[in-house]
Structure 1
Amino acid sequence: MASRPLSRLRRTLLAALVTASVALPVSGAAGPAAVPAPAPAALAPLRSVSPAALAERYAATRADIRAAERTAAGHGDRERAAELHGMADPARRFLSFDGRDGGRAAEVFGDLSDADRIAVLVPGSDTDLDRYGRFRDGALALRQQLGGRSAVIAWLGYRTPSLLSPDVLTTGLGADAAPELRRFTAELSSAAPAARISVLCHSYGSVVCARAASGLDVADLVLFGSPGTGYRDAAALHTRAAVWAGRGTGDWVGDVPHVRLRLPFATVGLGTDPISSQFGARVFPAGDGGHSDYLKPGSVSLRNIARIVSGLTPAQEGGHA
C-alpha cells in the first residue's frame, strides 16, 4: 500500500511541472528581466559600518539607482522608473543595487552603524524590483518590532523563481544564490563583528539559506513558510547556527508534498517538512496567518521572529508549534 501514496505524490509533482512549463512562457513573456539597466559601479568590500563608510556606500548605490532610473525612463517603462525614483530617495539606504535581470538590492532599515542585532531577510518566489513593495513592508515591520539598536537588511540578492515555473520545485536557483549570500554575510560579519546576526528565510528563500548554511557564520537560521530545503534534516545543513522553523496554520505551503524524487530529467521536490520532528529544527509558534503574513504587524509570527533575532525564546502563544 505504501507505493500508492508515493505514486500519487509523483503524479502531483509531475502535474505541477507540466502546468508550470506551459504557464511560464505565457506569464513571463514580458517580465521584469526585460527592462534594461546599466551595470552598477564596482564596489569595494564593506570593511566598516562606521557612519562615514556607510554614507559613502549609500551614495554610491544611490548613483547606480538613478542611472537605472534614467535607463528605464528612456526605455519607456514608467512603472519601473517610478519605483527606482522612490528607491533613490536620500532617506533610503542601500548597501548594493543592480537593476539588471529583475533586480538585486540590499536595503538597510535602522542604523547599521549602531546595531547590536542585525537580521538579513531573504525573500521567496516572485520577488523583484517590480514586486518589491511587500518585501520592503515586511522588513520595515520587523525593524519596528525589534526597536532599539537593531537593523534589518532586505537582501534581494538572487533571481527568485516564479511560482509558475519548474524552478520553484528544484534547488537549482537556491544553489546558484548560495555563494552570494555567504559572501554578503561574511562581509557583514567582518564589518560589524560585535553584532548578533540572524538570517531569516521565507518560502523558497529557505532553499537559498539551506544551500548556504555551512558557510554562514550567524547566530540563527530562521525558516518560515518553507516548502522544504532540499535536505533531509537540519543536521545535513552542517551549520553552527540555531535552526528554527515556523509555519502559520493558514499557509498553503502545508499542503505541498514534502518529498524529493529523482526523475529522468530532474530531481523534483524540496524534501522533508522543516516543521516536522524528522527535520529536527526548533519549531516556533507562527500563528494562524497565510503564506504572506509572517511579517504582518501585530502577528504572532512577527513577534516570535523578532524574539529569535534578539536571542530570546519564542513565546508559546497559540499558533502552530
Structure 2
Amino acid sequence: MAFSAWKVNKSWASLFFIASMLWWSAVYAHLAPNFYDETCPQALPIVKSAIKETLDQEPRMGASLLRLQFHDCFVNGCDGSVLLDDTPTFTGEKSSGANANSLRGFEVIDIIKTQIENVCTGVVSCADILAVATRDSVVQLGGPSWTVMLGRRDSTTASLNDANNNLPGPFSSLTSLISAFQAQGLSAEDMVVLSGAHTIGQASCQFFRSRIYNESNIDNEFAASLQENCPFNSGAGDFNLAPLDSLTANGFDNTYYKNLRSGKGLFHSDQELFNGGSADAQVTTYSTDQQAFFTDFVAAMVRMGNTKPLTGTQGEIRTNCRRIN
C-alpha cells in the first residue's frame, strides 16, 4: 500500500511539475529582452540617460530605485502597483508600514515615463521602466549588469494589506526572512544574495536604534559611532540617516558581507545573515569573492524581476504611473 501511494503521489507531482513548466513557458512567451525593439527602440536609451543624470546628482537614488522594485515585486508580482497613488476611493501600497515615509524614487520614474510617452505613447509599461531603471542604477554604481526581460504590463489595482504582510522588515529574524522570500518563489540563497543590495543606500535611525543600543552581536565602535546621530529615546532623531554600508555607501560591491563578518550590519535583519546560522557560509563566500556575489546577484535579480508578471492582455499600459488609465 505504501509503495502504491508513493507511485500515485509521484505521478501527481510529475503532473504538477509539467503543468508548472507549461504555465511558466506561457508567461515567458510574452517576455523578451527585445520586446520594445520595434515599438519603442528609444525606451532603454532614455532610461539609461535619465538614470545617469539622476545618479550623477544624487547617488543615493540608485539604492532607492532598487528598493522600489523589491517592494513592487514582493506584493502580487512585478506589476508597478507600488507606484499608484491613493485616491478618495482607493488605498494603494505607499502608506504601508514598510513604505510610508521611506520609499522614494517615484518622481524619477515619473520623469522617465513622461520622456518615453513623448516618443512612444501608450507602449512602455511603468513596471518595465522600473525594472530597467533598477538595472541601470546598479550598473551606474559599479555593480553588474543583466538582461532585463521585458513585456510586463501594469496592474490596475494594489494591495495595502499585502504590502503590510509580504515585505520583510529590518527587525526580521533569519527564519522570517527566508519565509518571506520563499513566499515569492525565491530560495534562502536568493534571500542572502539579494540582501546584498544593502551595500548601497541609507536608513533612518528608527529602524536600527534598537540594534545599536540593545544587541550584543555588534562591533562596539560601530555602535558608538551610530549612537552619535541616533539618540536612545524614541522620537529623537528618528529620521536621521546612516549608510547601510559605512565604508562604500555609494559603491555596489561586496563590502556589505565583509561588514557582516565584522559585526557591522546596520539592521538586525542584516546581522541575522551572519549570526551562527545557515547563511554564514554564503556570507563568507561573498565577503571574499565579489565576482561570486555579482554572478549570483544577477541570477537572483532576474528571478525576482520575473515574479508573476502581467502579460498579454492582462492589466494595462499606464500613461501616468501614479494612476490607472
Which TM-score applies when normalising by structure 1? 0.29
Larger radius of gyration: 2
Higher strand share: 1
| Higher helix content, 1 or 2 | 2
TM-score, normalised via structure 2 length? 0.29
Greater relative CO, 1 or 2 (CA 8 Å, sep 6+): 2
